[in-house]
């Protein structure tokens, strides 16, 4: 049996991209239905990065979901970059006039769910077998199954916000879609611990043993990462082994100050750069991880999803409120222009600060020279600061 409903925009995916788009559309009277494969608790159980570009902070304020972020988030004016015992501070504030906001993606997603639920939004969880139909027509529709029933939603547009493993990207035919990928020969082992952060700003560190990152969620919750081999499994790493390795990779003044404790979350993530072109096919638009992936080094995953949502929201708002399709017609080109700059920065920073297992002696010298140039050169630090706080939308 099939039941049918109709809405203006079907959003596939109830992660940050889908929820932010749904929330923004609601502020200009555009209706949407969000289809999410998992439960809300499962979505909120994902631990992801925690650095928001100033553009994303502005977008969350525009969406009316920034109150808790403004109370509990921490503006950061700079970061420490270390190579062995050598360290220097990169000041975002001095170089760009802007901070970044340290506020966990999980909290952003929680705030978005709270706002959508308060507004009585149509959020549908544990949906299965989502299929996008007639995306190239002016009457697309989406079907899915839930509770043994097949459902159909007729709409004007479909936003594919369903992440790297979703159905939206694959709906674009192979002979239309072009994919670009780089897989890195290492992963990140991350832990969450209920311990005070080792420093009041993030520390990006590289050493002969590899990369490490000291981050945080708040004054009592720290997030740490060490680069690990692709063959590593989480069970290979006891908490003590993690802490010992982290201490070996950060400057001794921080290693000595580090407060360790039991991990309350521990996971390994692979690193890849990935982009799909185009990000539009007829009335289907791809947003966020559905279209692109970055290594987490530059904290650009969520932030680049946000700029996609900004472009798509503005395009749909103008279509519905002014009958102007310029924004949706230029969406793919505009979004990809910024996506590729985020990919470049993430690739550059990852190449600078990780120890590549197959690196030649020349490669090692190039990394050392790049780090020395960044430490000593104003223009290099200006460029890094502008990319880190976020290039213009």
Which of 38, 182, 355, 375 lies at the binding interface for ligand APR (CB under 6 A)?
38
Q: Is 388 a catalytic residue?
A: yes
If you search the block for the tokens 């553009």, which residue do you land on? 55
Which of 16, 160, 190, 295 lies at the binding interface for ligand APR (CB under 6 A)?
16
x-or-dash string of contact with ligand PHB, 280-319, rule CB under 6 A: ----------------xxxx--------------------
Q: Is 38 a catalytic residue?
A: no
Q: Is 331 a catalytic residue?
A: no
Nearer to ligand APR, 69 or 198 (CB): 69
Q: Which does 215 bind (CB under 5 to 8 A by kind): ligand PHB, ligand APR, none?
A: ligand PHB
Q: Is 171 in the site for ligand PHB (CB under 6 A)?
A: no
Please answer whether residues 129 and 145 qualify as being in contact, where contact means their C-beta atoms are separated by less than 8 angstroms: yes
Q: Which residues contact 76 (CB under 8 A, 6 or more apart)?
A: 51, 92, 99, 100, 101, 102, 201, 202
Q: Applying CB under 6 A, which part among 49-57, 86-94, 226-234, 284-292 lies near ligand PHB?
A: 49-57
State how far the alpha carbon of 331 is from the alpha carbons of 13, 67, 137, 193, 284, in Å.
Answer: 19, 29, 18, 40, 11
x-or-dash string of contact with ligand APR, 287-306, rule CB under 6 A: -xx-----------xx--x-
According to DSSP, the β-strands at 9-12 and 157-160 are parallel
Q: Which residues contact 235 (CB under 8 A, 6 or more apart)?
A: none
CA distance 218 to 235: 27
Which of 25, 51, 57, 212 lies at the binding interface for ligand PHB (CB under 6 A)?
51
Please answer whether residues 64 and 23 qualify as being in contact, where contact means their C-beta atoms are separated by less than 8 angstroms: yes
CA distance 115 to 118: 5
Q: Applying CB under 6 A, which part among 19-27, 47-55, 93-101, 130-138 lies near ligand PHB?
A: 47-55
Please answer whether residues 280 and 135 qualify as being in contact, where contact means their C-beta atoms are separated by less than 8 angstroms: no
Q: Give me the helices (H) in the chain, please.
A: 16-26, 40-44, 54-62, 67-72, 92-96, 105-118, 168-171, 239-249, 252-257, 301-322, 326-329, 331-353, 361-376, 378-389
Q: Is 184 a catalytic residue?
A: no
Q: Which does 163 bind (CB under 5 to 8 A by kind): ligand PHB, ligand APR, none?
A: ligand APR
CA distance 359 to 365: 10
Which of 9, 11, 13, 331 lies at the binding interface for ligand APR (CB under 6 A)?
13
Q: Is 300 a catalytic residue?
A: yes
- Residues at the contact surface with ligand PHB, assessed by CB under 6 A: 49-51, 202, 213, 215, 223, 296-299
The catalytic site residues sit at 76, 204, 296, 300, 388
- Residues at the contact surface with ligand APR, assessed by CB under 6 A: 12-18, 35-38, 43, 48-49, 105, 127, 130, 161-163, 165-167, 288-289, 301-302, 305
């Amino acid at each position: 049996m099939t039941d049918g409903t109709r809405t203006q925009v079907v959003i596939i995916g109830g992660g940050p991209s889908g929820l932010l788009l749904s929330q923004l559309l609601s502020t200009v009277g555009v209706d949407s239905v969000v289809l999410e494969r998992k439960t809300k608790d499962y979505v909120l159980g994902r631990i992801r990065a925690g650095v928001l570009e100033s553009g994303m902070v502005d977008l969350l304020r525009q969406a009316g979901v920034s109150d808790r972020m403004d109370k509990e988030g921490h503006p950061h004016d700079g970061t420490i970059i270390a190579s062995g015992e050598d360290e220097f501070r990169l000041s975002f504030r001095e170089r760009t006039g802007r901070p970044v906001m340290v506020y966990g993606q999980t909290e952003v997603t929680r705030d978005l769910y709270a706002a959508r639920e308060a507004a009585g939004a149509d959020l549908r969880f544990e949906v299965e077998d989502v299929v996008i139909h007639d995306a190239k027509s002016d009457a697309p529709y989406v079907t899915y199954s839930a509770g043994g029933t097949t459902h159909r939603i007729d709409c004007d547009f479909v936003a594919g916000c369903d992440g790297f493993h979703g159905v939206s990207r694959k709906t674009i035919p192979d002979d239309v879609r072009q994919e670009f990928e780089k897989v890195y020969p290492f992963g990140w082992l991350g832990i969450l611990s209920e311990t005070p952060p080792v420093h009041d700003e993030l520390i990006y560190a590289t050493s002969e043993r590899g990369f490490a990152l000291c981050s945080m969620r708040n004054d009592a919750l720290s997030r740490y990462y060490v680069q690990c081999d692709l063959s590593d499994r989480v069970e290979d790493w006891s908490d003590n082994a993690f802490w010992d390795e982290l201490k070996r990779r950060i400057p001794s003044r921080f290693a000595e100050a580090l407060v360790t404790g039991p991990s309350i979350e521990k996971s390994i993530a692979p690193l890849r750069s990935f982009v799909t072109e185009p990000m539009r096919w007829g009335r289907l638009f791809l947003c966020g991880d559905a279209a692109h992936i970055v290594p987490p080094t530059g904290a650009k995953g969520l932030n680049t999803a946000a700029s996609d949502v900004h472009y798509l929201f503005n395009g749909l708002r103008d279509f519905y409120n002014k009958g102007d399709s310029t924004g949706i017609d230029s969406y793919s080109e505009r979004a990809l222009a910024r996506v590729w700059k985020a990919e470049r920065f993430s690739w550059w920073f990852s190449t600078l600060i990780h120890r590549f297992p197959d690196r030649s002696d020349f490669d090692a010298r190039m990394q050392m020279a790049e780090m020395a140039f960044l430490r000593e050169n104003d223009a290099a630090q200006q460029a890094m600061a502008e990319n880190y706080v976020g290039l213009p939308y």
